[in-house]
Protein backbone atom coordinates (compact mmCIF):
# COMPACT_ATOMS: atom_id res chain seq x y z
CA UNK A 1 0.00 0.00 0.00
CA UNK A 2 1.27 3.46 -0.85
CA UNK A 3 1.67 5.99 1.92
CA UNK A 4 0.39 9.53 1.53
CA UNK A 5 3.08 12.16 1.59
CA UNK A 6 2.66 15.71 2.81
CA UNK A 7 2.84 17.82 -0.33
CA UNK A 8 3.15 21.57 -0.55
CA UNK A 9 3.30 22.88 -4.09
CA UNK A 10 4.92 26.29 -4.23
CA UNK A 11 3.12 28.68 -6.59
CA UNK A 12 6.25 28.93 -8.75
CA UNK A 13 5.91 25.24 -9.57
CA UNK A 14 2.70 26.08 -11.39
CA UNK A 15 4.05 29.15 -13.15
CA UNK A 16 4.03 29.57 -16.87
CA UNK A 17 7.26 29.83 -18.86
CA UNK A 18 8.92 33.07 -17.67
CA UNK A 19 10.39 33.64 -21.12
CA UNK A 20 6.93 34.45 -22.48
CA UNK A 21 6.18 38.18 -22.88
CA UNK A 22 2.94 37.88 -20.90
CA UNK A 23 2.06 35.52 -18.06
CA UNK A 24 -0.82 33.10 -18.54
CA UNK A 25 -3.49 32.94 -15.81
CA UNK A 26 -2.55 29.50 -14.46
CA UNK A 27 -3.14 30.41 -10.83
CA UNK A 28 -6.52 32.04 -11.52
CA UNK A 29 -7.83 29.05 -13.46
CA UNK A 30 -6.50 26.66 -10.83
CA UNK A 31 -8.29 28.46 -8.01
CA UNK A 32 -11.51 28.60 -10.04
CA UNK A 33 -11.28 24.84 -10.56
CA UNK A 34 -10.64 24.17 -6.86
CA UNK A 35 -13.62 26.30 -5.86
CA UNK A 36 -15.90 24.35 -8.19
CA UNK A 37 -14.58 21.01 -6.96
CA UNK A 38 -15.27 22.12 -3.39
CA UNK A 39 -18.81 23.31 -4.19
CA UNK A 40 -19.91 20.08 -5.82
CA UNK A 41 -17.92 17.71 -3.60
CA UNK A 42 -16.44 15.84 -6.56
CA UNK A 43 -13.93 13.07 -6.09
CA UNK A 44 -10.85 14.09 -8.04
CA UNK A 45 -7.07 13.92 -8.33
CA UNK A 46 -4.85 16.49 -10.01
CA UNK A 47 -2.49 14.97 -12.56
CA UNK A 48 -0.13 16.11 -15.31
CA UNK A 49 2.26 19.03 -14.84
CA UNK A 50 0.45 20.37 -11.78
CA UNK A 51 0.90 17.02 -10.03
CA UNK A 52 4.59 17.00 -10.95
CA UNK A 53 4.97 20.37 -9.28
CA UNK A 54 3.16 19.14 -6.19
CA UNK A 55 5.61 16.24 -5.98
CA UNK A 56 8.58 18.58 -6.17
CA UNK A 57 9.55 18.40 -9.85
CA UNK A 58 9.57 21.81 -11.48
CA UNK A 59 7.45 21.76 -14.61
CA UNK A 60 5.83 24.68 -16.39
CA UNK A 61 2.06 24.30 -16.58
CA UNK A 62 0.21 24.83 -19.83
CA UNK A 63 -3.11 23.16 -19.08
CA UNK A 64 -4.58 21.86 -15.83
CA UNK A 65 -5.39 18.14 -15.90
CA UNK A 66 -7.63 16.51 -13.33
CA UNK A 67 -9.08 13.02 -13.00
CA UNK A 68 -12.73 13.11 -11.94
CA UNK A 69 -15.05 10.33 -10.82
CA UNK A 70 -17.48 9.66 -13.66
CA UNK A 71 -20.53 10.12 -11.43
CA UNK A 72 -19.30 13.59 -10.41
CA UNK A 73 -18.49 14.92 -13.89
CA UNK A 74 -21.83 16.52 -14.72
CA UNK A 75 -22.15 18.29 -11.38
CA UNK A 76 -18.61 19.64 -11.78
CA UNK A 77 -19.39 20.87 -15.30
CA UNK A 78 -22.46 22.64 -13.93
CA UNK A 79 -20.33 24.29 -11.23
CA UNK A 80 -17.84 25.51 -13.84
CA UNK A 81 -20.35 26.57 -16.48
CA UNK A 82 -20.61 30.22 -15.50
CA UNK A 83 -16.87 30.88 -15.87
CA UNK A 84 -15.94 28.30 -18.52
CA UNK A 85 -17.15 27.09 -21.89
CA UNK A 86 -16.75 23.61 -23.32
CA UNK A 87 -14.37 23.47 -26.30
CA UNK A 88 -14.05 19.70 -26.78
CA UNK A 89 -15.69 16.49 -25.65
CA UNK A 90 -14.43 12.98 -26.45
CA UNK A 91 -16.25 10.90 -27.34
CA UNK A 92 -19.01 13.26 -28.35
CA UNK A 93 -21.80 11.30 -26.66
CA UNK A 94 -23.40 11.69 -23.26
CA UNK A 95 -20.65 9.75 -21.40
CA UNK A 96 -17.38 11.44 -22.36
CA UNK A 97 -13.94 10.30 -21.25
CA UNK A 98 -12.51 13.82 -21.57
CA UNK A 99 -13.96 17.31 -21.52
CA UNK A 100 -11.79 20.35 -22.28
CA UNK A 101 -12.87 23.71 -20.85
CA UNK A 102 -11.69 27.26 -21.51
CA UNK A 103 -12.51 30.47 -19.69
CA UNK A 104 -15.37 32.28 -21.41
CA UNK A 105 -13.35 35.48 -21.69
CA UNK A 106 -10.13 33.78 -22.83
CA UNK A 107 -8.82 34.80 -26.22
CA UNK A 108 -5.65 33.96 -28.10
CA UNK A 109 -2.79 31.55 -27.32
CA UNK A 110 -2.51 32.57 -23.68
CA UNK A 111 -5.58 30.60 -22.59
CA UNK A 112 -5.16 28.01 -19.84
CA UNK A 113 -7.44 25.06 -20.52
CA UNK A 114 -8.81 22.64 -17.95
CA UNK A 115 -8.95 18.99 -19.00
CA UNK A 116 -11.43 16.89 -17.02
CA UNK A 117 -10.55 13.21 -17.42
CA UNK A 118 -12.81 10.32 -16.45
CA UNK A 119 -10.84 7.15 -15.56
CA UNK A 120 -11.19 4.68 -18.42
CA UNK A 121 -8.76 1.92 -17.42
CA UNK A 122 -7.01 0.30 -14.46
CA UNK A 123 -4.13 2.78 -14.41
CA UNK A 124 -6.37 5.84 -14.26
CA UNK A 125 -8.70 4.22 -11.73
CA UNK A 126 -5.68 3.39 -9.55
CA UNK A 127 -4.46 6.97 -9.91
CA UNK A 128 -7.77 8.30 -8.62
CA UNK A 129 -8.07 5.74 -5.82
CA UNK A 130 -4.50 6.24 -4.56
CA UNK A 131 -4.61 10.06 -4.53
CA UNK A 132 -2.74 11.82 -1.74
CA UNK A 133 -3.55 15.06 0.05
CA UNK A 134 -1.41 18.14 -0.58
CA UNK A 135 -1.54 21.92 -0.31
CA UNK A 136 -1.01 24.62 -2.88
CA UNK A 137 -1.73 28.35 -2.71
CA UNK A 138 -2.74 27.71 0.89
CA UNK A 139 -5.52 25.27 -0.04
CA UNK A 140 -5.87 21.53 0.38
CA UNK A 141 -5.89 19.54 -2.85
CA UNK A 142 -5.97 15.89 -3.88
CA UNK A 143 -3.12 14.85 -6.18
CA UNK A 144 -2.36 11.55 -7.90
CA UNK A 145 0.27 9.63 -5.97
CA UNK A 146 3.85 9.80 -7.14
CA UNK A 147 3.75 6.17 -8.25
CA UNK A 148 0.51 6.61 -10.20
CA UNK A 149 1.95 9.71 -11.88
CA UNK A 150 4.96 7.70 -13.08
CA UNK A 151 2.64 5.03 -14.50
CA UNK A 152 0.52 7.60 -16.34
CA UNK A 153 3.60 9.30 -17.76
CA UNK A 154 5.15 5.97 -18.78
CA UNK A 155 1.99 4.96 -20.58
CA UNK A 156 1.78 8.29 -22.39
CA UNK A 157 5.43 8.08 -23.45
CA UNK A 158 5.03 4.53 -24.77
CA UNK A 159 1.83 5.33 -26.67
CA UNK A 160 3.60 7.81 -28.98
CA UNK A 161 7.34 7.16 -28.63
CA UNK A 162 8.42 8.96 -31.80
CA UNK A 163 6.48 12.18 -31.24
CA UNK A 164 7.58 15.37 -29.43
CA UNK A 165 4.78 14.79 -26.91
CA UNK A 166 6.08 11.29 -26.24
CA UNK A 167 9.59 12.63 -25.74
CA UNK A 168 8.28 15.17 -23.24
CA UNK A 169 6.45 12.46 -21.28
CA UNK A 170 9.62 10.34 -21.24
CA UNK A 171 11.61 13.31 -19.92
CA UNK A 172 8.98 13.67 -17.20
CA UNK A 173 9.39 10.00 -16.24
CA UNK A 174 13.15 10.41 -15.95
CA UNK A 175 12.75 13.53 -13.82
CA UNK A 176 10.32 11.78 -11.50
CA UNK A 177 12.42 8.65 -10.93
CA UNK A 178 15.59 10.72 -10.42
CA UNK A 179 14.31 13.56 -8.27
CA UNK A 180 11.64 12.00 -6.04
CA UNK A 181 11.39 9.17 -3.47
CA UNK A 182 9.22 7.04 -5.75
CA UNK A 183 8.34 3.57 -4.42
CA UNK A 184 9.97 1.44 -7.12
CA UNK A 185 8.82 -1.85 -5.57
CA UNK A 186 5.18 -0.69 -5.70
CA UNK A 187 5.60 0.36 -9.32
CA UNK A 188 7.05 -3.00 -10.26
CA UNK A 189 4.18 -4.82 -8.59
CA UNK A 190 1.55 -2.72 -10.33
CA UNK A 191 3.19 -3.09 -13.76
CA UNK A 192 3.98 -6.80 -13.43
CA UNK A 193 1.10 -7.75 -15.74
CA UNK A 194 2.18 -5.31 -18.47
CA UNK A 195 5.54 -6.40 -19.95
CA UNK A 196 5.89 -3.34 -22.18
CA UNK A 197 5.41 -0.82 -19.37
CA UNK A 198 7.55 -2.92 -17.01
CA UNK A 199 10.38 -2.85 -19.55
CA UNK A 200 9.94 0.90 -20.01
CA UNK A 201 10.18 1.42 -16.25
CA UNK A 202 13.42 -0.56 -16.08
CA UNK A 203 14.86 1.49 -18.95
CA UNK A 204 14.00 4.67 -17.08
CA UNK A 205 15.57 3.40 -13.85
CA UNK A 206 18.75 2.34 -15.69
CA UNK A 207 19.08 5.52 -17.78
CA UNK A 208 22.28 7.42 -16.97
CA UNK A 209 21.86 10.77 -15.29
CA UNK A 210 22.92 13.88 -17.23
CA UNK A 211 26.59 14.73 -16.77
CA UNK A 212 27.25 16.87 -13.77
CA UNK A 213 24.09 15.77 -11.95
CA UNK A 214 23.58 12.97 -9.45
CA UNK A 215 20.61 10.65 -9.41
CATH of domain 7-144: 3.30.460.10
Q: Where are the domains of the chain?
A: 7-144, 145-208
Q: How do residues 36-91 score in pLDDT, each as one tens digit?
A: 999 999 999 999 988 888 888 877 777 899 999 999 999 999 999 999 999 999 99
| Residue 212 confidence (pLDDT) above 70 | no
| Distance between CA atoms of residues 82 and 196, nearest Å | 43
Q: How do residues 188-201 score in pLDDT, each as one tens digit?
A: 999 999 999 999 99
* Residue 209: per-residue pLDDT: 84
**Burial category of 3 from C-beta neighbours within 10 Å (exposed 0-12, middle 13-18, buried 19 and up):** exposed
| Distance between CA atoms of residues 138 and 50, nearest Å | 15
* Residue 60: per-residue pLDDT: 75
Amino acid sequence: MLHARALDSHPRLMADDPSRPAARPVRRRFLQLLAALERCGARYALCGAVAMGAHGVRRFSEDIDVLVEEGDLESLLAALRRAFREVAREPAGARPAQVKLRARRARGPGAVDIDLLVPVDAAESWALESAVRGRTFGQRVDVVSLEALVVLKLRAACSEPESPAGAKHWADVLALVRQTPVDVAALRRFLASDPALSAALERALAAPAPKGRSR
